Structure 1
């Protein structure tokens, strides 16, 4: 476990530094890193501080959050096919952002779009908690999340269908593909508190997740309050996914794929998988973002598209493997 965490951490640091040195301008890596700490405020310093650094930080924060929340959801539901978007928060956040673009609110302020997405995420949380009820179990939570996700998806499609402005429709479509391009430190400071709060709420449930491996009855016998644990998990996951979706759009499969890959390396303890998945998620999103800038730097390939292209085949493999185990 320690070796895995050290390897992931070293990989993350290496990718972070690599992300800072990759760009359209042919500038040596040493000069790029030196410009980050320079006091002359030249063009390269501004590029490093206002464009590359926020992008690299957001990749770490959002990737770590999605991996962390994905491991928590899989541990709570005891299902390797679970992922953070299952509770419908990402769909609700996307709907809030889409409405902001459609109404022109997003053009009025830089923060209008992320705040609209956060409002959508909070609305989704409230509806999920109402539908699931205070004593609802994991199945009720899944059904409530699917219902909210389906409703948000339908309303998003309706907004696209009724959009009279072709440019607004294109902006909605591109935003829903997910991207870290053109983000600033403002977006970092907006997303970071949601990640920290969400991670703190989920971390409190670590002992309960380990106890749940023995079953719900055994967990309650060990003194785990399942209702309280469910609320903490939902709120924590919602904060992470809502904050990430608000600043980067919809990015899928990270919370599904990363815990699945790392689970055989950490054993059967969900609490240990949480932190490994956080580092793994950050590594995966950094790697995906770097791949975009290296393969098609001029075509603005979206981050959500890359993660889906990587995650979908692994998801299909997971379904096939699960089916074989049931036969």
Structure 2
């Protein structure tokens, strides 16, 4: 399927808006016709609190987190020219998860913004290490190796935090955070998503020439005037901000940043720069659908968003990879 970028963005945007509106109908508390009428007329009624104060922020947060992950994945794949690149490759997600785990084990989980703040601190520390490294070693392969190393180190430190957990309740809380959720999110979480998307979107305007020339090879891009150090730094800042904020808002949610750009490529978009915005909307769709399944699938315990994104998305991604492999063999 090949659509113009404008048409594709229009269809994806309409789909996101429709999902956000549709998911207002689903929740733990069933609403009667009278409660829906109150929600539309009386802004201080119980129905209004449920619909506009609980369900709408959750839907918007899910869309925002998915958009950040999708955009981050597109930036990473565009820079590294690697279809397996995703936000977690730099180690920023692991650093944010480590920060959140430390906040929880210190007993700060009940304080507003404490876990999110520690997650952002962890993500920022990893991003600073990456930027210092890129200044001296701008090669993309070196960046991948450093990211894998930082991710492994943060993972080991997170395991240590788990081992030092003072109680099973704290351990369960940390584990729940690591599996991701957008339940009980509020307008401040939505604003964090919008801030991250606005900053990263602004930075991405500077990447058009660099990402396009990079498809011809790094040496060719340099010969055409692309500053590889500056290009890598901008992508690292944007991808790190998006990945860190997504973990701060919803915990660790896998697969989305990896898969969203591939789904957009399947729709006919090949330009790595033009891929960024549609990938954000596709990521929003993936997380909204996954959150809908979290609400609708009956379970004795609460299903976690990150689990559903992997269980549902991985087979779809495998199918897409199989179809792509067949097309490559035919070429």
The TM-score with structure 2 as length reference comes to: 0.91
> What is the rounded CA distance, in whole Å, between the counterparts of 1:29 and 1:233 in structure 2?
49
Deviation at 1:241, TM superposition (A): 0.8
Specify the alignment match of 2:18 in structure 1.
14
User: Which of residues 254, 274, 292 is equivalent to 1:252?
Assistant: 254
Specify the alignment match of 1:66 in structure 2.
69
Deviation at 1:315, TM superposition (A): 4.9
Deviation at 1:272, TM superposition (A): 1.6
User: Which of residues 74, 78, 81 is equivalent to 2:81?
Assistant: 78
- Per-residue CA deviations over 1:106-157 (Å, capped at 9, x if unaligned) read 23x1111100100000011112223444342111111111111000000001
Q: Pick closer, same or farther for the CA change 1:158–1:45 going to 2, 3 Å.
A: same
SS of the residue corresponding to residue 41 of structure 1 reads coil
Q: CA contact under 8 A between 1:199 and 1:240: conserved in structure 2?
A: no
Q: CA contact under 8 A between 1:195 and 1:243: conserved in structure 2?
A: no
Deviation at 1:214, TM superposition (A): 1.0
> What is the rounded CA distance, in whole Å, between the counterparts of 2:136 and 2:312 in structure 1?
37
- Gap regions ≥5 residues in structure 2: none
Q: Pick closer, same or farther for the CA change 1:321–1:226 going to 2, 3 Å.
A: farther
> What is the rounded CA distance, in whole Å, between the counterparts of 1:8 and 1:322 in structure 2?
22
Matches within 5 A, 1:144-293: 144-293=146-295
Deviation at 1:201, TM superposition (A): 1.6
Deviation at 1:312, TM superposition (A): 2.8
- Per-residue CA deviations over 1:247-296 (Å, capped at 9, x if unaligned) read 10001111111111220323421122111111111111111111111123
Off by >4 Å, runs of 4+ in structure 1: 28-31, 34-37, 314-326
Specify the alignment match of 1:95 in structure 2.
98
Matches within 5 A, 1:16-55: 16-27=20-31, 32=36, 38-55=41-58
Bigger CA drift: 63-72 or 88-97? 63-72
Q: Pick closer, same or farther for the CA change 1:91–1:165 going to 2, 3 Å.
A: same
Matches within 5 A, 1:288-303: 288-296=290-298, 299-303=301-305
- Per-residue CA deviations over 1:298-321 (Å, capped at 9, x if unaligned) read 632100001111233345556767
> What is the rounded CA distance, in whole Å, between the counterparts of 2:128 and 2:114 in structure 1?
21
> What is the rounded CA distance, in whole Å, between the counterparts of 1:30 and 1:18 in structure 2?
18
Deviation at 1:29, TM superposition (A): 8.0
> What is the rounded CA distance, in whole Å, between the counterparts of 2:219 and 2:96 in structure 1?
34
Deviation at 1:49, TM superposition (A): 2.4
Q: CA contact under 8 A between 1:128 and 1:148: conserved in structure 2?
A: no
